Structure 1
Amino acid sequence: MGNVLMVANYEPDVGYAWNFIQQFWVVLAKKFPGRCHLAYPLHGAVPAVISDAGIKIHWQNMRDKSSTDFIRQHRIEHVYLTDWTGLNPLYARWRLAGVKDIVVHDHVPGDPPPARGWKGALKASLNSLRVMSPTQCLAVAEHVTKRHIETWRMDPSICVTVTNGIRPFTVDPSLRPSVRSELQLPADAKVFLIVGRATKYKGVDFAVRCLAKLPAHVHFVHVGDGPDLDEFRKLARELNVAERMHFLGKRSDVQRLMTGCDAAFHPSRGEAMSLAILEYMCAGLPPVVPSLPSVSVAVEHQVTGLVYQNLNVEAAVSALGALADDDALRARLGSAAHAKVLSSYTIEQTMRTFDEKIAIRA
């Protein structure tokens, strides 16, 4: 067997979801010791978990034409890609250079419509040639697998679901008073946690507009940085909710902050399989989410959280208000959410399925 190449899309210290994705690289490194290469498009500090796995690091942009020479030089026969497209002319060039297997692991957010008409027929025809398409498409949730079949028009036989999961954790309730004191929250405040990039795609502006329609004892705590953070702060001031909309920026102590919160709100306009939602659930914070399949996939309405009609402010406010005012409902949903993560969404389950189903074999 030749060597295995994993391909990063960003510099190694970018953080965010790539801290999760690199766990798949470590699994491959253990599966194929001494034969794994990792290409970063940009220089940066390589995380210790990657260095310790014995992976050979390269600074190579695999979207560049020089990628073909790189594949030949390092005798690459198997390529593992994250969030690349279903059809790409580079795949044909790599195959001519000696690549046997190309696996695309799709974490891309969104709910695109099916490809129909001539576009759908063209995609299906190109995919049938098995030249510019992957050997296998891995999806982080069933709705993403559906995307591969209906939107990418891939052969269903090469589409596999490897459901995202998290490492279970417990929160320390004794930290609640110190967290709420730090955030200067009133004693009677009902607090919803929002974790995600400060962008409009994550729906933070929608959250601010919802807060403006909720009673004074409801507060939102947002964790995350991003390009639209200042705009969201300005909006909160304009709507007179700045004292109840707590923008904390980037933090490394989210699990500690969870102890000061009562529930969660995730108004994103699209996800693949949200790790933040799974973490809310694990912490016993019942999430309020929109009805988009990509966002609500892990949440069962009135069982593990509440689902509102997407982009409907009044519907979201109604759900948030109900959860804020009903202690018993929060407790019931939070307990069920925690149990659901332990039974269905652990990182151990994810990695075991990945190891079993990936098309790259020793």
Structure 2
Amino acid sequence: MSNCSSVEQPQALMLGEIYHAKDVFDRLCKSCCVKQITNGTRGQFLDDCGSGTYNNVVAIARNIDSIQFTGLFDSELIAKLPSSVKFICHNGAGYDQIDVKACIERGILVSNTPFVVNDATADTAMLLLLAALRRAWIPQSAVRNGLWDNTRPFGRDPKGLTLGILGLGGIGSAVAKRAAPFGLKLQYHNQSPARASVMSRLNLGDNEPKYVTFEELLRTSDIISVHVPLSARTRHLIGKKEIEMMKENIIIINTARGLIIDENALVEGLERGKIWSVGLDVFEQEPEIHPGLIKNENAILLPHIGTATIDTRKCMEVTMLDNVKNGLFHKQLLTPVPEHAQTAR
């Protein structure tokens, strides 16, 4: 699809469908030239990039589902983009599908959709946390099979347990605010302690999250909730060695990225009882799920629905499209990824 009246005018390229912010997309299409692709193959997309089809494209917007016909925005694809491309606007808080280093080398700025995903993802983390505490899959599956009290296990109360938040960013902070009223004691680990302004916004008084080292968080938490971005540093950040450091009957929640946890180690810990239960919205090889997780009744599993509400998905699309518009008309992005700030220093 294209609304372009002249190939000479600056263009935006929309990769994937707009499902919720159709009104915003329509306004963008009226204000500038927009091409849209909703199907195809990676090979075709690379060929089109090389043939001059997108030579006047300045900003690219991409929904996550566009990976089905473009593949990853890796160094190979980035190298094929026309020199006119200055902005890539990603619909998602996590942007590990994009090689930002390769973009920086070509003078391309990348944006994501932080902030707007915080509440929905934190709600999902709390849903998983409470369900994991009660090992909720066991009674739920039992009652669906016509069974009652004799199959219902005892769960655990959150009050008095220590929640270790791995990554006190936007989502981790939103989890802390939701967890505090349940009586959970809060601690966290970042690469460095959170700024005083972050703690002030949390406004949790005596239950302000305590900064601890990574090892201390592993050794002293009753529940660990993962909220760090995926990078070379965090890939398999939690593996067999780290699980061994944890308390007996540890509960692990992950709404970040599946590759942050070694699933083989996770399954092994579940099977031998070291891990009480897990609550997972993300997996190493999505959409494939480790068979050891599927069959384990102490695993609460969701199919990566952390931001899957109508309200949040619309906000994400609006943020992506606003970045496109700002890039085209003001030559800058509203929510550039942190790597660009680091490069500018």
Q: Which bracket does the TM-score occupy, shorter chain normalised?
A: 0.3 to 0.5
TM-score, scaled to structure 1: 0.33
TM-score, scaled to structure 2: 0.34
Q: Which of 1 and 2 has higher RCO (CA within 8 Å, sep 6+)?
A: 2
